[in-house]
Structures are given as structure tokens and as C-alpha cells.
Amino acid sequence: MSTTSALMTVEEFRKLEDPPGFRLELHHGEVVSLGFPKSKHWKIQQRIRRIFEEALGGQGEAGTEFAFRPEPEHELWGADVAFVAWDRYDAMDEEDNLAGAPDITVEVLSPSNTASEILEKKDVCLKNGCSEFWVVDPKKGHIEITGEKSVIYHSGDSIEVGGKSFTVDDILQGAHSR
């Protein structure tokens, strides 16, 4: 005899408290525990957020650890970095999170990420409002951007964002900009 457990809803999930040293997300009705980013990861997130603000700031809002609901009921995820166009941003229910995926969703890889997990995130996001999904791989030194097609950018390559050009090196090892 097997036992089935019910999938957790977002409403039930929101009643949980993050355990010390971790934050929680809801994936397919199951609670997932995530560690906080290390300094290198966080710095890359901040560089990308600043790039989005500089290149796309007049068109929407950029943020890190951006909570969104790519699908209703059993999903509440956090994007490492997200950009959301003003029309979608302004339409967000202030008592909820973004319905669907951000217009641009960025995942900075950590040692704990699996290829299948990232592929699934990319697929779900692109099917639910995301026009570009970035996978930033600090270890391999490249950035994959998937939209209408998928392109991998390496050290020395330039990436165009909102008509402005940034190199992979600007993002991965960025110089201090104050």
C-alpha cells in the first residue's frame, strides 16, 4: 500500500518560516531549501542588476532574489536576477508575487545546481512570460542566453543589452564602479 502526499500550495507555503541559514522556495508543490549566495555569486548578481538598470532602467525594474510564480498554485521561485517590464511590474498584485516568469530571468550557477534543474527552470520560465533566460557559469567563464535562439558567450565576447554592450568579463570579474 502506498501513501500519497498532497502538493503544497503557495498559500500553505507562505506560512512557513525560513530555517536559519537557508531560504525556502516551492517547486512543484515541494519545499526546497536553498543556501544564501557566497560573495562571488552575490557580486555577479549585483553586476548584472546594475547592467539591467543602466541599459533597461527606463523600460522596467531590475532586482536580485526576485520572487515569482512561474505557474500558479504550486510554484514560488526566486530568480538570482530579474528584469520585469513596467506594464507587468505595475500590474503585480502587491499582496502576491509576479504571475509568470520575469521578462529576463538570470540564474548564476552554484556548485549545488544540476544540469537538469537548470534546464527545467529555463523551460518553465520561457513557457511562462520570460523572453530571455540567462545561465551564468562563473566556473566555466561563460554566459548562455536563450531567447528565440541560444547563444553562449565566452571571455572577451560582448553581450548587447538594451543597445549597450557589456563583456562577459565585465560581468564575471567586473571592475569596481562607483
pLDDT of 177 higher than 50: no
Confidence of residue 112 (pLDDT cuts 50, 70, 90): confident
Predicted local confidence at residue 1, as pLDDT: 46
For residues 100-111, average pLDDT: 96
Please report which confidence band the pLDDT of residue 4 belongs to, taking 50, 70 and 90 as the band edges: low
- The reported pLDDT for the residue numbered 3 is 52
Which cell numbers hold the place of 172?
Answer: 564575471
Helix (H, G, I), strand (E, B) or coil at 22: strand
Measured distance between the N- and C-terminal CA atoms of the chain, rounded to whole angstroms: 63
CA-wise closest residue to 48 among 143, 148, 178: 143
**Counts for the chain of helices (H) and strands (E), in that order:** 5, 11
- Per residue in 15-28, pLDDT (tens digit) is 998 888 888 889 98
Q: Which helix (H) or strand (E) covers residue 88, if one does?
A: helix 86-91
